[in-house]
Each structure stands twice: as structure tokens, then as C-alpha cells.
């Protein structure tokens, strides 16, 4: 399943967070902006009118569950319009029992960010006061794993856990998790961790491959952000190039999780909510520019043997590095090709969050 099959409407509920992860690409400064629910309702109507099956993904440039009441309101609106609607949440897992219970009863797919072992998670993913939340997150993973249709854990790999990927598998086995994806750490280029914690992508790929085999022997699927298109040919790297909507707290429609109107990621923005008329105004030129970001239009991918199993990689990362979506994160290519030599066409059971 190529990753672009994930045709969902992403709601980035807030830019506030209860954690202060060291590599957070949302920046150290926490703001307090929150999504306008009328905007989300408009986007749901448009999404359905465009012929899409309703699939809502709750996410944030912060922690979505901080806007629990809005999640419930959006859920109610969506389910009234489509009883078959599918819901996903990507969360840091640091929430209370009430929220865990509601998620367990209403959400189909849950992805929890957790960096593997308790010790590493405490290092990278603690609160503002450096307080550990690992215990809470582990309990929520265990609880929700028994309740929802699909639960996965997304681990970020930095220097601290590069050589501990087998231990991540052991920990997930202990918690009953069947699906894990790891992503090589990608901080904003302005974050000092971008330089301090940088790992050679090929080194990550080699260690990942070892851990993947170990995971298989434990009946756990361990995927990587680098492998998301390995089992189906595609000329676009992910849903961003369709584009699928990602609604931001400042009323913009972005094609990617990483879109902010005030930053360098402007090229990703293709719509704006107009509060007065209560409608979304789309920019067709921007949409065309995004849709034209196929691997066939990327000079750097021209002669790549696996171009249709990678399709140029993540456009959010490309723009973070080079300032334009018509580019690639070149330093990942060797690692992606190395993994393709070993894993191409192996079945992917769950789509990356």
C-alpha cells in the first residue's frame, strides 16, 4: 500500500503541548492557539463533496488531546454525516483515564509517540519541568491496545536509541504492541539537536534492518519512514501531493503536517478559512504546484532505480532542508536505497501515521 492511499482529513487541533520533547520541530516556544471548529466542519463538508470517504485524523503541532472537547464535537459532527466515518489519532499518549476511555470507545486507529525504552523516552520526551511521563504513556498503550482496531507506536530514533532498537522491540512486546514505525530524528534546521543528535541515515538503516528481523521473529511489524512506499509503485511520496487537507490553528489548509503560514513552509499552504462567509477559499495555482511534485518532475531522482518506490521522499522534510518542495533530502537517499535492496515489495500491513 503506497502511503498516498491514506486519504484523510487531518485536524491539527492545537499548537500547545504538555510535553517539551528535545527534538520537537514545532519549536521551543509554546503557543496557545486552537482550531476553529466551524473551520473543521466546513472542511468536512468540502472533503465529502469532493467524493472522499470520511476519514478524520486528529493531530497537532502540539498535543491534540489538550483539545479533548473539540475532538468530541468534531467526532459528533462527522458521525452525524457519515456513520461509517473512520477516526485516527496521533498523540503523545500523556493523557488521563477519562480521555483514554473515550478514545478506546470512539477512535479506530491510534498512534502513540514513544521512543522505545523507558530511559530513552524519559530523556527525549519529558514535560517542561523534565518530569517523566513514560509510566502514563505505557499504561495508555497497554489499555488502548486491547480496545481499538489498530494501535501502533511511532519511535523517533536519535543517538540515544540508535543501538537500542532491539530493546524497543522488547518493550513493545511487553506492552502487547504489534505495529511500530521508526523515523530518523528530524528537528527543525534551527534546532541545535539537528546538528548535535544527527545520525548518519545509513547507520540508522543498518541498525533498523537488524531490529526489523528481530521484530519479525517476535511477530511484530517494524517499519520505517524510509520504507512507506516499498510495496506499491507510486509517483507521489504521500498524501501531501494529492493534496489531502491538514487544517491549521491559524485557519489555513496545508497539504502536510508541517505547514505553517508564517514560516518557510508557505508552499504547502493551499487554502484559507474565511470566518465571515464561513467557507474555505482554495488557491488553485498552489494546488497545481503541489500536484506537480511527482517523482518524474524531480531532477535529482531522474536516474534512481527505486524512484517509483520512494517518489522523492517527504516534501515537508525537503522544504525544511532546501526551502522548496521541488527538492529532496538527499542525505537520506543512500539509506533508502540500501533498505530497498533488502525490503522492496515486502508487504506493509499498516500505513505509517
List of residues contacting ligand SF4 (CB under 6 A): 17, 19-21, 24, 26, 62-63, 92, 125, 238, 240, 256-258, 295, 300-301, 304, 306-307, 310, 312-316, 328, 333, 336-337
| R_g over Cα of the chain | 19
> CB-wise, 110 or 258, nearer to ligand SF4?
258
Q: How many other CB atoms are there within 10 angstroms of residue 331's CB atom?
A: 13
Give least dist CB 336 to ligand SF4, A: 4
- Cross-strand partners of 88: 57, 109
Q: How far is CA 149 from CA 9, 72, 88, in A?
A: 19, 19, 10
Nearer to ligand SF4, 166 or 322 (CB): 322
Least separation, in Å, of the C-beta of 12 and ligand SF4?
10
Q: Is the dihedral of CA 314, 319, 322, 326 positive or negative?
A: positive
E strands within 166-266? 179-184, 221-224, 246-247, 252-254
117 or 217: whose CB is closer to ligand SF4?
117
Q: How far is the CB of 87 from ligand SF4 (least distance, A)?
A: 18
- For ligand SF4, which is the closer residue by CB, 24 or 162? 24
Q: Which is nearer to ligand SF4, 233 or 275 (CB)?
A: 233
Cell digits for 212?
526489523
Minimum distance from residue 58 beta carbon to ligand SF4 (Å):
13
CB of 228 to ligand SF4, least distance (A): 7
Instruction: For residue 227, give the nearest of 244, 212, 248 by alpha carbon.
Output: 212
CB 231 within 8 A of CB 57: no
Amino acid at each position: 500500500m503506497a502511503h498516498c492511499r491514506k486519504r484523510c482529513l487531518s485536524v491539527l487541533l492545537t499548537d500547545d503541548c504538555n510535553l517539551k520533547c528535545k527534538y520537537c520541530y514545532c519549536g521551543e516556544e509554546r503557543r496557545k492557539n486552537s482550531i476553529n471548529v466551524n473551520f473543521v466542519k466546513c472542511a468536512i463538508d468540502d472533503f465529502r463533496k469532493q467524493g472522499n470517504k470520511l476519514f478524520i485524523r486528529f493531530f497537532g503541532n502540539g498535543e491534540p488531546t489538550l483539545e479533548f472537547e473539540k475532538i468530541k464535537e468534531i467526532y459528533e459532527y462527522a458521525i452525524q454525516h457519515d456513520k461509517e466515518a473512520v477516526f485516527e489519532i496521533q498523540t503523545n499518549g500523556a493523557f488521563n483515564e477519562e480521555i483514554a476511555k473515550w478514545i478506546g470507545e470512539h477512535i479506530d486507529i491510534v498512534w502513540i509517540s514513544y521512543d522505545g525504552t523507558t530511559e530513552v523516552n524519559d530523556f527525549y520526551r519529558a514535560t517542561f519541568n523534565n518530569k517523566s511521563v513514560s509510566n502514563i504513556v505505557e499504561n495508555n498503550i497497554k489499555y488502548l491496545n486491547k480496545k481499538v482496531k489498530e494501535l501502533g507506536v511511532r519511535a523517533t530514533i536519535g543517538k540515544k536509541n540508535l543501538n537500542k532498537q532491539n530493546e524497543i522491540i522488547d518493550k513493545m512486546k511487553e506492552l502487547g504492541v504489534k505495529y511500530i514505525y521508526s523515523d530518523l530524528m528530524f528537528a527543525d534546521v534551527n534546532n541545535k539537536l539537528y546538528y548535535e543528535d544527527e545520525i548518519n541515515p545509513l547507520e540508522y538503516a543498518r541498525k533498523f534492518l537488524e531490529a526489523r528481523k528481530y521484530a519479525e521473529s517476535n511477530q511484530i511489524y517494524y517499519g520505517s519512514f524510509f520504507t512507506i512506499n516499498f510495496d506499491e509503485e507510486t509517483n507521489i511520496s504521500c498524501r501531501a501531493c494529492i493534496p489531502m487537507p491538514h487544517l491549521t490553528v491559524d485557519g489555513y489548509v496545508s497539504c502536510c503536517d508541517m505547514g505553517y503560514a508564517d514560516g518557510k513552509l508557505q508552499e504547502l499552504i493551499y487554502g484559507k478559512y474565511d470566518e465571515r462567509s464561513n467557507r474555505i477559499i482554495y488557491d488553485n495555482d498552489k494546488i497545481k504546484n503541489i500536484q506537480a511534485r511527482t517523482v518524474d518532475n524531480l531532477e535529482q531522482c531522474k536516474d534512481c532505480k527505486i524512484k517509483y518506490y520512494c517518489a522523492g521522499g517527504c516534501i515537508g522534510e525537503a522544504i525544511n532542508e532546501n526551502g522548496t518542495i521541488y527538492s529532496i533530502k538527499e542525505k537520506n537517499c543512500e539509506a533508502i536505497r540500501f533498505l530497498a535492496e533488502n525490503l522492496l515489495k515486502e508487504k506493509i500491513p499498516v500505513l505509517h501515521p
